[in-house]
Amino acid sequence: MEYEKPKCECGTDLVVRMDKIAEFEFAIKKDGRISKKGKRVTAFSQSNWGSLHCNKCGNIYEFNYDLIGQESFKFKREEQL
Ligand SMILES: [Zn+2]
């Protein structure tokens, strides 16, 4: 079965919104505050929670993916939230 990208009921391709966590380093300025520019020191890791959003009509869906086989880590649409 060929993979199909998750689509909204309105037919628009859905996008994934999720938190990505990484550590950053910031220099401390003379006034004691941190500089705006930070340097990322670890790779971004994906948190467990996220959702699929439709940028056209605003619908939000849960997503799922398989961990094994040919379909592994391919996003699939689940229940509407
Ligand atoms: Zn939509």
How far apart CA 17 and CA 35 sit, in angstroms, is: 27
User: Is 4 within the bounds of a domain?
Assistant: no
Name the domain count of the chain: 1
User: Is 8 within the bounds of a domain?
Assistant: no
pLDDT for the residue numbered 67: 86
How many angstroms does the Cα of residue 28 sit away from the middle of ligand 1? Answer: 44
Contact 11, 56 (CB under 8 A): no
User: Is 65 within the bounds of a domain?
Assistant: yes
User: Is 7 within the bounds of a domain?
Assistant: no
pLDDT in tens for each of the 81 residues of the chain? 788 999 999 999 999 999 999 999 999 999 999 999 999 999 998 777 789 999 999 999 999 888 888 888 899 999 999
User: Is 5 within the bounds of a domain?
Assistant: no
How many angstroms does the Cα of residue 46 sit away from the middle of ligand 1? Answer: 25
Domain membership of residue 67 as a residue range: 15-80
- Whole-model pTM above 0.85? no
